[in-house]
Amino acid sequence: MSDALNDLQRRAVALDSADPLAKHRELFALDDAETVYLDGNSLGALPRHVPERIADVITRQWGELRIRSWDESGWWTAPERIGDRIAPLVGAAAGQVVVGDSTSVNVFKAVVGAARLAPESRDEILVDASTFPTDGYIAESAARMTGRRVVPVAPADLPAALGPRTAAVLVNHVDYRTGRRHDLPGLTAAAHEAGALAVWDLCHSAGALPVGLDAHGVDFAVGCTYKYLNGGPGSPAYLYVAERHQAAFDSPLPGWNSHSDPFGMTPAYAPADGAARGRVGTPDILSMLALEAALDVWEGVAVEDVREKSLALTDFFLECVDAYVPRGLVTSVTPAAHEERGSQVSLRCEAGSGGREAADVMRELIARGVVGDFRRPDVLRFGFTPLYVGFADAERAARVLGEVLVKS
């Protein structure tokens, strides 16, 4: 064990030394070297410069300029401006992404909007059966509003389930529990071949791997910004509406901010053109501008390079787990194939088979400086954010996991 440990540690040092993204780690407010933060798939780390930028927003823009900041500080145009900064990270041209509201609210806009674009004879909305629960709740409500019904389908079974009754499909690009990456190009093409629209949830993929919304003809997409985009707790989500659908997009939440003449205060609603049609009410400026500042860490970074490092990190972590954790104590539920993997590794830790309860294991890992999380009843999740996670982090996390499990 000691030889393997020393070899893996040496390799980690060498890999970190050769990593072109390693210098980005210093852009984030992280703990000392003894703490490994592998929960960026739930909440990204704080970019160091954000507090100073937000202090300016509070003290000068709000404190001194006050209402003048809607114009002079660019508050009013922030949803589209920041959307255009996110667009390259998800493979979209400018003018198709708007920032604001929560992911849940944007899922509602997207699913209802997609359903309203479909003929009434298409009365089914297919939903990823393994989806994050909120997406399912929202889809059910959207179905009631549009006179459709929800049909839960495993992503692998979607092509066979598509048909003349399908209005739209809602799928997660990366499964939040297992880290499995679903086939966005293939499933989008299958939906289109069946005459349906494709809505994708990018919460666990944007900022970790290439998405290619425009290249693959996606119709609608939504995503949060507090995971791999590091926008901060509760930072606003975003909505992508492909340019070809914008003129016909009928949002179920027609707020004054999406009016073509928002200050006209007319009783009749007339939707704005372009991405602004996805706005609703007054933007949440403080969290929105924190997100805008956080996106600075992406300057000069190619998502393809992030993906390459993500796969190398997760490969190395799994190798270290195999070396440090006795067989039978954990099992990876994350696909080994690169094309099927997101940027996290999920390990099943079942009690009663020589292992320990996953909650207890994660609690002890966190106490020892390895911060991940777990999903009931038995899944340990480790998220790898390539901008600030290194190979020494992966090695240490696996080694401490082995120590915790062997001690049980």
**Catalytic site positions:** 132, 201, 226-227, 381
Q: Which residue carries 């003809």 as its tokens? A: 217
Is the bond into 185 cis (omega within 30 degrees of 0)? no
Among residues 74, 88, 95, which one has the least CA distance to residue 278? 95
Quote the DSSP letter at residue 40.
T
HSE at residue 378, side-chain half, CA atoms within 13 A, is 13
* Residue 112 to residue 250: CA distance in whole angstroms: 8
Kindly state the helix (H) or strand (E) to which residue 184 belongs, with its residue range.
Answer: helix 184-193
Q: What are phi and psi of 380, to 5 degrees?
A: -90, 130
Q: How many residues does the chain have?
A: 408
- Left, alpha or beta for 321 (phi > 0: left; psi -120 to 50: alpha)? alpha
Among residues 221, 261, 280, which one has the least CA distance to residue 103? 221
Quote the DSSP letter at residue 45.
P
Q: Are 404 and 360 in contact (CB under 8 A)?
A: no
β-bridge mates for residue 259, sequence order: 271
Rounded to an integer, what is the distance from CA 359 to the centroid of its chain?
Answer: 24
* Residue 133 to residue 42: CA distance in whole angstroms: 15
HSE at residue 289, side-chain half, CA atoms within 13 A, is 19
Cα angle, residue 17 at apex, residues 13 and 21 outer, rounded to 5°: 120
Cα angle, residue 146 at apex, residues 140 and 152 outer, rounded to 5°: 35
DSSP 60-86: IIIIIIGGGHHHHT--TTHHHHHHHHH
Percent helix, strand and coil across the chain, each to the nearest 5:
45, 15, 40
